[in-house]
Amino acid sequence: MPIDITMPALSPTMETGTLAKWLVKVGDPVKSGDILCEIETDKATMEVESIDEGTVAELLVTDGAADIKVGAIIARLSGEGEAAASSLETAAPAPLPTQPAAESPSPQRGEGAEKNAAAAPSPTRGEGDSRGDAARRAKGVGNPADTAAAAPPTGASLPPGARVNASPLARRLAAAANLDLAGVTGSGPHGRIVKADVAAAAASPRPPPAEAAAEPEASTAHAAPAPRDVPPPRPVHDAAHDDARPAPAAVALSAPAGVPMEAVKLSNIRRTIARRLTESKATVPHFYLTVDIRLDALLQLRSDLNKSLEATGIKVSVNDLLIKALGLALTRVPDANVQFAGAELYKFARADISVAVAIPGGLITPVITDAANKRLSVIASEMKDLAARAKDGKLKPEEYQGGTASISNLGIFGIKQFDAVINPPQGLILAVGAGEPRPYVVDNAIVVATVMSATGSFDHRAIDGAVGAQFMSAFKRLVENPLGMLA
């Protein structure tokens, strides 16, 4: 029977995508792991691999086609011995999904489900798993009927001794993670369990039945929407589920009459930014704390470090030092390294820092994991690589998902001070302004020093004012006494 290839969900926030370019044509043989096309998402441009084998029978969308819904059929493969493309051309495409299938949120612990997913081995062509299709099916996005048909029996319904339909790599990963495959839903062809399914299952804690029964309202990510004037509750802050909820209704606006203008269609990334930041300001109670920080010692340390690193070609930036200081401040004030999760508060044992990077048409936040324990030269190298690939749209999902706190630095533009919007579901973001000569009191004397202003935006549901003040004080001490970051 023909095999449908659907638009995959390549990021947690993706609802539609643009098919940038086909890399195959009708009649081409396709093996598992072959690259089929390039898809532009709300975050990046990514290659999509095939998880099936066959011959390309139909390409149902053209290069450059935009706003293709996740789950829509974009191509078909014919299997071995099946008719060629001509016999499939009359087949009507499956209807587009009207809404994503219901999905059960998986409260993450520690560094979060996204970080756990990033820790799992990345998909390889040899495995025959498509990052996009696997992610889409694992999230239950697509035609509900197709999803139901492809889902294998759960562990409870498997007869004794029945063989689990899983790939060899999935079996090895499950054995290493001590995971029972009988309870894993497969997203591969004919319900086959593939690597992405094992990674998702390993990253999803399974609450005890009593706890699940005690909170039935948290059992679905698509509960009935709250009244328009009441912000919807956020019982579980899982980035993979946050953006599945409907966006607030758009307000119809009209341009001023008689003013020359051009209507520019919003890109996927701009629409996502608009939705998420509107949600953040509407549902997260922000409060702000600002401190002035003397930078002279940090600038001197940076100069000394770069002289010692000349032979390696590595250059440490002020932002690299601030990322390190933010990570250390979170470890020294662990009550600030938290995330609100409805009935729970997640307290993270590691500081993963999301760094705001401007890209054409928006911004993205690649993550420096475990920033507190990394050497400054490592942070500098990683940040340079992540920023370059972010601007080229080549980041992998695990490189920009997650993070326990964020930093946004507009000092390069000469901005003195600003208040940043929290990146949900995180609990804080640090906004850094420019360092500039200012009068500053040192040992009861006024001197001219290089001073910058840093403002923390905090989620008051998770972080109290006193805790926020302790965090800002710790960050200030680290920046003004930067040798402590090398200890």
Per-range mean pLDDT, top range of 42-51, 197-206, 394-403, 422-431: 422-431
Tell me the pTM. Answer: 0.56
Lowest mean pLDDT among 31-45, 101-115, 269-283: 101-115
pLDDT of residue 408: 97
Q: Which amino acid is at 72?
A: A
User: Among all chains, which residue has been given the structure tokens 């050497």?
Assistant: 375
Q: Tell me the three state secondary structure of residue 316.
A: coil
DSSP secondary structure string for all residues of 421-449 = PP-TT-SEEEEE---EEEEEEETTEEEEE
301-338 residue pLDDT tens: 999 999 999 999 999 999 999 999 999 999 999 999 99
| 147 has a pLDDT exceeding 90 | no
Q: What are phi and psi of 325, to 5 degrees?
A: -65, -40
Longest Cα–Cα distance of the chain, Å, equals 87
Q: Which domains does the chain have, with CATH numbers?
A: 3-202 (2.40.50.100), 285-486 (3.30.559.10)
CA distance 404 to 347: 9
Q: Are 369 and 115 in contact (CB under 8 A)?
A: yes
Nearest-Å Rg of the Cα atoms of the chain is: 25
Q: Band of the pLDDT at 80, cuts 50, 70, 90? A: low
CA distances from 208 to 33, 115, 205, 213, 214 (A): 37, 23, 10, 9, 10
CA distances from 55 to 30, 50, 87, 372 (A): 6, 11, 13, 50
Element (H, E) at 409: strand 405-409
Nearest to 243 by CA among 198, 267, 274, 218: 274
Please measure the distance between the N-terminal and C-terminal CA atoms of the chain and give it in whole angstroms.
63
CA distance 200 to 202: 6
395 versus 210: which is more confidently predicted? 395
Counting residues of the chain whose pLDDT is more than 90, the rounded percentage is 41
CA distance 407 to 365: 9
| 433 has a pLDDT exceeding 60 | yes
CA distance 97 to 39: 19
Average pLDDT over the chain, rounded to whole?
77
Q: What are phi and psi of 260, to 5 degrees?
A: -60, 135
CA 157 distance to own-chain centroid: 34
| 427 has a pLDDT exceeding 90 | yes
Lowest mean pLDDT among 75-89, 288-302, 414-428: 75-89
82 versus 134: which is more confidently predicted? 82
| 167 has a pLDDT exceeding 80 | no
Instruction: Write the CB contacts of 487 (distance below 8 Å, at least 6 apart in sequence).
Output: none
Q: Are 138 and 254 in contact (CB under 8 A)?
A: no
Interstrand relation of 367-368 and 54-59 (parallel, antiparallel or unpaired): unpaired
Q: CA 79, 81, 84, 90 torsion: positive or negative?
A: negative
pLDDT of residue 111: 43
CA distances from 11 to 139, 270, 344 (A): 11, 15, 25
Q: Band of the pLDDT at 88, cuts 50, 70, 90? A: very low
Q: 341 has which bridge partners? A: 344
Check residue 393 and give left, alpha or beta (phi > 0: left; psi -120 to 50: alpha).
Answer: left
Q: Tell me the three state secondary structure of residue 405.
A: strand
pLDDT of residue 43: 65
pLDDT of residue 190: 67
Lowest mean pLDDT among 170-179, 223-232, 333-342: 223-232
Counting residues of the chain whose pLDDT is more than 70, the rounded percentage is 71
Tokens at residue 448, please?
């001219």
Instruction: Write the CB contacts of 95 (distance below 8 Å, at least 6 apart in sequence).
Output: 143
CA distance 187 to 332: 42
Instruction: Write the CB contacts of 111 (distance below 8 Å, at least 6 apart in sequence).
Output: 348, 349, 350, 352, 402, 404
Q: CA 133, 138, 140, 143 torsion: positive or negative?
A: positive
Instruction: Write the CB contacts of 122 (distance below 8 Å, at least 6 apart in sequence).
Output: 396, 398
Tokens at residue 317, please?
């930036």
Residue 460 among the catalytic residues: yes
Average pLDDT over residues 250-268: 79
Cis peptide before 425 (omega within 30 of 0): yes
| 202 has a pLDDT exceeding 90 | no
86 versus 365: which is more confidently predicted? 365
